[in-house]
Amino acid sequence: MPAQLPPDAPALVLAAPGTGGDIAAAIKTIVCVDHPQLDVRLVHLGDSKTSLAETLTECAADRPKDSPAAIVVPLVTGPHQQVYRAIREAVADSDVMTTIADPLGPHPLLAEALHVKLSESGLARADRMRLFNIAAPVDGIIVATVGGQEAVRAADATVVLLAARLTLPVVAASLDASPGVGDAAQRLRNIGASRLALAPFLIGPEIDIHKITAAAEAVGAGCAEPLGAHSAVAQLVALSYGSSLTSVDPDNS
C-alpha cells in the first residue's frame, strides 16, 4: 500500500454480502485508521437503500473519466458466485471504470487467524509467541466455507496451512453445498478423529451465524467464531487494494 496516494486515486469499495451488521463496518474502520490516505466506502450487497452501482457513480463523479474510479474488494475469503455476480452486474449498471479484486484468501494470514479463533474458543492451544500448537483439545478440524464446491477446493490451501500449524487432520467443507460438514466429519472419523471442531472460514456476513452453529451441533463438533474484523482481514483488504492498484486487469473493468 503506497504511503501517499494522489487525490484522484480509486476509492476502495468494500462489498459485503448481506444487508448489514457490525462486522463489515468494523473492518472499514480498521482500514480507515491504518490507511487514512484511502477513500474507503462500504456497501452491503443485500441492502436496497444504498446500491453498489450508486456508490460507484458517486466515486466516478470525483475522478477522471479515463481512469478507474473504484477498486471493489469483496469481503469474502474465497470464490462466491453470488457475490461476484452481484458486483459485476452493479459495475455494468453503473458504466463506471472499476476493478474487481480477487477473494481475500487463501493466505497464510487467514490460516493464522483461524488458529487464533479456534484458540479463543478453547478448541486449540497455542503458545503466546508463535501460535504453534502445544496440546490439542480436539483431534480433527473442519474448515467450513460457503460458495459451493469451488469455494471448498479453494480452501484446500488454507486447510494445508492450518493442518501444518495444528499438526492435526483438517478437512474443508461447504455450509451451502456438497461436500457438506457431515461429509467432512465422516472423513475425519474414518481416520480415527472423534473430538471435532468447526472453524468457519468466513468473515461473517456471508451466512446466518445460526446455520454455522447448527452445522457444528449436527456433527457433535465444537464451533469457533467466524473471522470477523480480525486484523488479518483488514490487512488483506488493504493488500488487495494495493495489488489491484498496481496491476489493473482490463477484464475486470
Question: Cβ(237)–Cβ(38) under 8 Å?
Answer: no
What domains, with CATH codes, occur in the chain? 11-104+231-252 (3.40.50.1400), 108-223 (3.40.50)
- List the Cα angle 76/107/245 in 5-degree steps: 70
Phi, psi of 197 (to 5 degrees): -135, 145
Phi, psi of 120 (to 5 degrees): -65, -30
To the question of pTM greater than 0.75 for the whole model, the response is yes
Task: Tell me the pLDDT tens digit for each residue of 8-53.
Answer: 999 999 999 998 889 999 999 999 999 999 999 999 999 877 799 9
Q: How confident is the model at residue 133 (pLDDT cuts 50, 70, 90)?
A: very low
C-alpha cell at 55: 456508490
Only one residue has cell 478423529, namely 193
Q: How confident is the model at residue 115 (pLDDT cuts 50, 70, 90)?
A: very high
Question: Cβ(106)–Cβ(240) under 8 Å?
Answer: no
Q: Tell me, what DSSP letter sits at residue 186?
A: H
Task: Tell me the pLDDT tens digit for each residue of 58-84.
Answer: 999 989 888 899 999 999 999 999 999
